[in-house]
């Protein structure tokens, strides 16, 4: 698919002929230089925007807009500030009316306990720390039982310590559920640690440069990041990304 | 800091909580600074009018003259806290404000929300509102007298109009201020357009709406008094003009101070209602140290 913004005579080509497969039940991580259109790609996959050419297919069916089978976890946080944590989690099922009442409340509470927010159910998002907000947001997405989870740099803005804890927590959840996950990041270490498949994007106009299969055993832990194999992947990814980053730097100059 | 205090002692409730907070409030410098400020201001006023009797200030009643009349059972210039007439004026003005503010809020908040929510509603209405809004309220006086019968109609109309513009504009800006991500999150979770309106647009715009309501109740008082001064039979604005015409200055100033107190009180009521409805916003402000 392709996508550009702006008026015809000065349009800004963001995506050009991007074609990529996200294998079911696997965790695909998208990395690319900053400003390369990662968020645009997520918006298209989520259905918030539609591509100029091409289409997004889920199990062979083209998408028509946002839907509950593709849950998005946003950059920073998009927990609704005027709802308590538990209200945020129950919001989706309540809106669609497919789960209700005490059963829904119980499910939301169990999910929040699972993500370690049992004591914070009735707090507002602003009263939670950054890491807690991300976990609440994961719970809000998971309760809808999506087939695809779309994560747009979900751990951006967290400090290094919470970030690595969240990565491990997220991997545990993934290894338990094995949902199709699309995870966007700009951190190579994070990408290699999480990914089954690593999609490396080029500079703008963005195309898919390479897809690397990350063959590290699961369950993973942070120690694997310092193995020779992980280093080899990192070197490979960095060589590719560095070249792209240099290009965008040159454009800026 | 807070959590240790709570874990060591039992949290006070009800009246005890009120006592605790009052004590805490009076242990800081804030209330004393306020009292000192008021006295300093009163003292300056007394010096000008009654102490040194500087130039034109001799024409004004000083604080001593005012308080003598205000709290007297037999006021020299006719108005005090013991005369029925004083309360008649207050009652009439307050009633008019309640009606005007009620109509303006009832119309302005929904209209502003819809204008913020729907592009086409905004295209229809916003240019007209922007065209009418800059016309000063006093410029509407002749038209409103021609249009509406009696004293009551024009006066309430003018206060409503002023209040309405402020409320509508703030409600609309309140919707504009909501982050796009919340709409997307709600859409992704499967909300219908109407659900988004109820769960995102209305609560998200509330902080702006209440800022607007605090301004609009002030504006309502402002234009009410202006209207009462031009065309009125009763009310605090009428009392001011009436006293001036009859060359009694004390009731004039008493009416002014009364307006100040009632205005202060009405804004505080709106603010308190807002804080009640927006617990999340109060916590947000508290975290920013406000």
Evaluate whether residue B79 is within a structural domain: no
Does residue B101 sit in the same domain as residue B12? no
Q: What is the pLDDT of residue B216?
A: 93
| Tens-place pLDDT, residues B264-276 | 999 999 998 988 8
| Tens-place pLDDT, residues B17-48 | 888 888 888 888 888 898 999 899 988 888 88
Does residue B148 sit in the same domain as residue B269? yes
Does residue B116 sit in the same domain as residue B249? yes
Contact A126, A81 (CB under 8 A): yes
Report CA torsion sign: A79, A84, A90, A92. Answer: negative
Evaluate whether residue B21 is within a structural domain: yes
Determine if the pTM surpasses 0.90. no
Q: What is the pLDDT of residue A7?
A: 61
| Tens-place pLDDT, residues B184-239 | 888 888 888 888 898 899 999 999 999 999 999 999 998 888 888 887 788 888 88
* Low-confidence stretches of chain A (pLDDT beneath 70): 1-12, 248-253
Contact A244, A209 (CB under 8 A): yes
Domain of residue B20 covers 2-60
Domains held by chain B: number: 2
Evaluate whether residue B75 is within a structural domain: no
Query: Is B191 an interface residue toward A (CB < 8 Å)?
Result: yes
Evaluate whether residue B69 is within a structural domain: no
Q: Nearest CA to CA, how far is B188 from chain A (Å)?
A: 5
B181 to chain A: closest CA residue = A78
Evaluate whether residue B95 is within a structural domain: yes
Does residue B133 sit in the same domain as residue B273? yes
A77 to chain B: closest CA residue = B181
Contact B77, B69 (CB under 8 A): yes
Evaluate whether residue B211 is within a structural domain: yes
Using a CB–CB cut-off of 8 Å, the residues of A that contact B are: 46, 48, 65-68, 70-72, 74, 76, 78-83, 91-92, 95-96, 124, 126-127, 140, 144
On chain A, the residues whose CB falls within 8 A of the CB of B189 are: 68, 91-92, 95-96, 140, 144
Q: Nearest CA to CA, how far is A150 from chain B (Å)?
A: 11
Rounded to whole angstroms, how far apart are CA atoms B282 and A62? 44
Rounded to whole angstroms, how far apart are CA atoms A88 and A81? 9
Does residue B186 sit in the same domain as residue B254? yes
DSSP tag of B57 = G
Contact A89, A118 (CB under 8 A): no
Q: Which residues pair with A182 in a beta bridge?
A: A28, A150
B187–A78: do the CB atoms touch at under 8 Å? Answer: no
Does residue B51 sit in the same domain as residue B186? no
Q: Nearest CA to CA, how far is B183 from chain A (Å)?
A: 9
| Tens-place pLDDT, residues B103-158 | 999 999 999 999 999 889 999 999 999 999 999 888 998 898 888 888 888 889 99
B280–A124: do the CB atoms touch at under 8 Å? Answer: yes
Q: CB-CB: which of B181, B190, B278 is closest to A96? A: B190
Q: What is the pLDDT of residue B1?
A: 41
Contact B175, B113 (CB under 8 A): yes
Does residue B38 sit in the same domain as residue B93? no
Q: What is the pLDDT of residue B2?
A: 46
Evaluate whether residue B225 is within a structural domain: yes
Q: Give the containing element (helix H, strand E) for A39.
A: helix A38-46
On chain A, the residues whose CB falls within 8 A of the CB of B175 are: none
B184–A144: do the CB atoms touch at under 8 Å? Answer: no
Which domains are delineated in chain A?
3-69+151-252 (3.40.50.300), 83-145 (no CATH)
Does residue B102 sit in the same domain as residue B240? yes
Q: What is the pLDDT of residue B3?
A: 45
Rounded to whole angstroms, how far apart are CA atoms B178 and B205? 7
């Amino acid at each position: 698919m392709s996508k550009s913004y702006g008026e015809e005579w000065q349009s800004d080509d963001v995506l050009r002929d991007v074609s990529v497969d996200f294998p079911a039940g696997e965790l695909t991580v998208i990395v690319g230089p900053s400003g390369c259109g990662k968020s645009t790609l997520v918006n298209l996959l989520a259905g918030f925007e539609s591509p100029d050419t091409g289409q997004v297919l889920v199990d062979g069916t083209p998408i028509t807009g946002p839907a509950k089978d593709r849950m998005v976890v946003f950059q920073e946080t998009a927990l609704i500030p005027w709802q308590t944590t538990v209200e945020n989690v129950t919001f989706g099922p309540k809106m669609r009316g497919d789960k209700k009442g005490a059963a829904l409340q119980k499910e939301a509470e169990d999910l929040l306990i699972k993500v370690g927010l049992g004591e914070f159910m009735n707090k507002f998002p602003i009263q939670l720390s950054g890491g807690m907000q991300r976990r609440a947001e994961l719970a809000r997405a998971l309760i809808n039982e999506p087939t695809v989870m779309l994560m747009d740099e979900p751990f951006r803005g967290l400090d290094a310590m919470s970030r690595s804890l969240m990565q491990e927590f997220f991997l545990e959840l993934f290894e338990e559920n094995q949902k199709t996950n699309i995870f966007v990041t700009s951190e190579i270490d994070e990408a290699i640690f999480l990914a089954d498949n690593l999609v490396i994007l080029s500079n703008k106009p963005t195309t898919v440069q390479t897809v690397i299969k990350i063959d590290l055993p699961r369950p993973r832990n942070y120690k694997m990041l310092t193995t020779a194999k992980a280093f080899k992947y990192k070197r490979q990814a960095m060589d590719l990304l560095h070249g792209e980053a240099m290009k965008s730097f040159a454009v800026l100059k | 800091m807070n959590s240790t205090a709570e874990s060591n002692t039992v949290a006070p409730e009800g009246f005890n909580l009120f006592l605790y907070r009052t004590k805490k409030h009076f242990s800081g410098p804030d209330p004393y600074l306020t009292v000192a400020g008021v006295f300093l201001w009163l003292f300056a006023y007394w010096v000008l009018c009654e102490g040194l009797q500087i130039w034109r200030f001799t024409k004004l009643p000083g604080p001593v003259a005012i308080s003598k009349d205000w709290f007297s059972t037999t006021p020299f210039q006719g108005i005090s806290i013991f005369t029925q007439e004083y309360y008649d004026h207050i009652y009439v003005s307050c009633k008019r404000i309640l009606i005007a503010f009620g109509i303006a809020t009832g119309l302005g908040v929904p209209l502003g929300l819809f204008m913020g929510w729907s592009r086409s509603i905004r295209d229809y209405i916003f240019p007209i509102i922007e065209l009418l809004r800059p016309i000063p309220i006093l410029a509407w006086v002749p038209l409103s007298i021609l249009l509406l019968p009696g004293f009551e109609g024009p006066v309430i109309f003018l206060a409503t109009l002023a209040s309405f513009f402020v409320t509508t504009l703030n409600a609309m800006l309140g919707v504009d201020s909501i982050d796009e991500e919340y709409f997307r999150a709600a859409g992704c979770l499967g909300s219908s357009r109407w659900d988004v309106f109820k769960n995102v647009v209305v609560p998200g715009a509330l902080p702006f709406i209440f800022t607007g309501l605090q301004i609009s109740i002030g504006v309502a008082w402002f234009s009410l008094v202006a209207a009462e001064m031009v065309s009125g039979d009763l009310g605090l604005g009428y009392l001011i003009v009436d006293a001036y015409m009859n060359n009694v200055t004390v009731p004039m100033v008493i009416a002014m101070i009364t307006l100040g107190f009632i205005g202060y009180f009405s804004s505080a009521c709106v603010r308190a209602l807002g804080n009640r409805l927006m617990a999340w916003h109060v916590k947000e402000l508290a975290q920013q140290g406000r």
